[in-house]
Chains A and B, each alone.
Chain A
Amino acid sequence: MSQSQRIATLLALGLGCGACSSYSMNAELGVTQGGSQDIRLAREIIQAGGVPTQDFFTAEGLFSEHDLPIDGPACERVLCPRAAASMIDPVDGSGQQLLIQLGFATSIDADSFQRRPLNLAVVVDVSGSMGDGKLDAVKLALNTMVDQLDEVDQVALVAFDDAAWIELSKTTMDGPGRQDLRQAIEHLRDDGSTNIEAGLNLGYGEVAPDAAMPGYEDRVMLFTDAQPNTGNTGLNTFLGMARYYSQAGIGLSVFGVGLDLGSELASEVSQTRGGNYFYLADQDAIAQVFDEEFDYMVSPVAYDLEVLVTPRAGWLVGDAYAAPLDEQARVVDFGASTLFLSKRNGGMGVTLVADDRILSMGDDPEPTEEAPMSLARFQLRYETADDFDRVQDELEVTWTGGSVIMDQLVNADDLGVYKMGSLVDEFQSLELGAAWCDGHASMPEALEAIHETALRLHAIADHLNSPQLEAEAVLMEQLAGNVADGPNNCWYDAYGY
């Protein structure tokens, strides 16, 4: 298959995304961490017969596509940390362990929420590679965005190929302003090569003069199909500008257009204050991001979340999902640079394993709802986005031994962590598929885990009557078939090579 055929296949497959997000129907808003917001390209690669390698998926991307609620008392602050636990036996064979989900409730509700006015520069790649419908997709996204702007917002439009220029200098988005922006969007034409840095520099140059106006959200949005160079970090590089201006309160949203820019870039963006990353695969994704989620993706609620986890005596923190963690340790620190409002309840996960040197899993008394086991203490620090207050919070995490969810006793204390347990299996299956591609896992090892994950996902989908989890199960069955077909199916880059 040629490179262009593979891209065309991906774009065509992207039109049907069975496992893409579904939302809770109430007016409650959730909170998710920044960084990657989906694993769309990994899904498309599997649907096209491939096996995605490590660069195509992240745990936070997978979790962000699902609603992972944690029950708790009414929240009367911008952020209320919540946690719940589940006993899991992951498909990677690491043995029984406790999974703790950390999530956040918020007092902000969807009915009364109004995003902050925007001081925004939209930076669009119009190089020759943006032909083949990609620039049209960006225009669709931007026109959808224009519908949601009003006279409190100020927006500039910057275009770049091998040079950068201002298509529309910063303009108030009243009626005539929106009309000017639509005309500027229509005027975009693809041609030339790509100089992301020139475009970003001009974009930041439009937002920066009015940065830190009280009440405004300062943000640059970059649309590109080119991989930004994240190796260099001088001030005039992609990462250099992102990091420098993030300290001045200017956030960056990166949109990969028809090309997932990969987990490395997503990881870099997620570690940048105010950063988030979206892959715009198709019209469904564009509609979802720019119609349903626009107000939330430009609404950080907290920065620099740092969580110090101290497990109960005799336990260690094993893995962390959707949060960086270096190694197993007695006390660990993880976190997120930015928390955004969302229609879904996101979450980070950490696992606790019994320290073999001290005890085995069965040595603790059986917990009950009346006598829950104290699992860990979470000490949290973060800065609120609206008034930059530095907040310290503490959370005692307990484990009651399970609960009844939809008439069935399960090994999880809440719905969100119950679902997260199956998503951890899915993430590990994706990792094992990638490890098999890289020669670090055998085919039988990978297939056993992926098949087991598919079975577990079918079971939980049946139990929760969840089409979204059923679609994940089907995805795992497809992945198993692709692995069984041999190593030629491994995708090492976005073009399938």
Chain B
Amino acid sequence: MGVSARWTARTRGGLLALLAILTAACETPNMGELCERSQQCQGGGVCLAGACSGYECTSDGDCSNALVCGSVAGIHACMTACDSDADCPGEQACTEVDRSATTDDGTAWYCM
């Protein structure tokens, strides 16, 4: 690859990275969507391991983007159900969480 081609490739890569940063910086991602900082997330969400999380719910109808209303240590929040890390957005991992903080109510697998 010549100098010019390398420069073009680097420039294109740089521009794409810049675009990604600008996109992340300008957009206000919703639950389950990618983020870099908590302040970006809509509706008071928290950017947890690269995806907007921490949205309270009482039923699946409160959640969007295919998230479900799951119980995490007794707390109801919109969650991405998963079988493996590949199902999870951002850097989130498919995690076995306690369904209840106070009773032996089993576990569930969610992206966190």
Residues of A within 8 A of B (CB): 201-202, 204-206, 208-212, 233-236, 240, 243-249, 271-272
B31 at interface (Cβ–Cβ under 8 A)? no
Q: Which of B46-61 contact A (CB under 8 A)?
A: 46-50, 53-56
Q: With the chains together, A204 CA to B56 CA distance in Å?
A: 15
Q: Which residues of B contact A206 (CB under 8 A)?
A: 38
Q: Which residues of B contact A243 (CB under 8 A)?
A: 72-75, 101
Which of the residues B48, B74, B77 comes within 8 Å of A211, measured between beta carbons?
Answer: B48
Q: Which residues of A contact B53 (CB under 8 A)?
A: 208
Q: Which residues of B contact A205 (CB under 8 A)?
A: 38-39, 46-47
Question: Contact at A209–B76, with CB atoms within 8 Å?
Answer: no
Q: With the chains together, A178 CA to B54 CA distance in Å?
A: 30
What is the distance, in angstroms, from A493's C-beta to the closest C-beta of chain B? 25
Question: Contact at B72–A209, with CB atoms within 8 Å?
Answer: no
Q: Which residues of B contact A234 (CB under 8 A)?
A: 56, 75
Q: Which residues of B contact A246 (CB under 8 A)?
A: 73
Closest to B107 in A: A247
What is the distance, in angstroms, from A230's C-beta to the closest C-beta of chain B? 12
B93 at interface (Cβ–Cβ under 8 A)? yes
Closest to A218 in B: B49
Q: What are 9 of the A-B contact pairs (CB < 8 Å)?
A: A201-B46, A212-B92, A235-B54, A243-B73, A244-B54, A245-B48, A247-B97, A247-B112, A272-B101
What is the distance, in angstroms, from B86's C-beta to the closest C-beta of chain A? 16
Q: With the chains together, A233 CA to B36 CA distance in Å?
A: 27
Q: With the chains together, A205 CA to B46 CA distance in Å?
A: 5
Closest to A235 in B: B56
Q: With the chains together, A205 CA to B35 CA distance in Å?
A: 12
Question: Contact at A244–B37, with CB atoms within 8 Å?
Answer: no
What is the distance, in angstroms, from A210's C-beta to the closest C-beta of chain B? 8
Most buried by B among A235, A248, A272: A248
Which of the residues A210, A212, A235, A271 comes within 8 Å of B93, measured between beta carbons?
Answer: A212
Q: Which residues of B contact A244 (CB under 8 A)?
A: 54, 72-73, 75, 77
Which of the residues A208, A233, A236, A240 comes within 8 Å of B47, measured between beta carbons?
Answer: A208
Q: Which residues of A contact B101 (CB under 8 A)?
A: 233, 243, 271-272
Give the 10 A-B residue pairs with the shortest CB-CB distance, closest first: A205-B38, A243-B73, A235-B56, A248-B112, A208-B48, A247-B97, A209-B47, A244-B75, A205-B46, A240-B75
Question: Contact at A247–B49, with CB atoms within 8 Å?
Answer: no
Q: With the chains together, A271 CA to B101 CA distance in Å?
A: 8
What is the distance, in angstroms, from A55's C-beta to the closest C-beta of chain B? 20
What is the distance, in angstroms, from A205's C-beta to the closest C-beta of chain B? 3
Q: Which residues of B contact A204 (CB under 8 A)?
A: 46, 54
Q: Which residues of B contact A247 (CB under 8 A)?
A: 72-73, 95, 97-98, 112
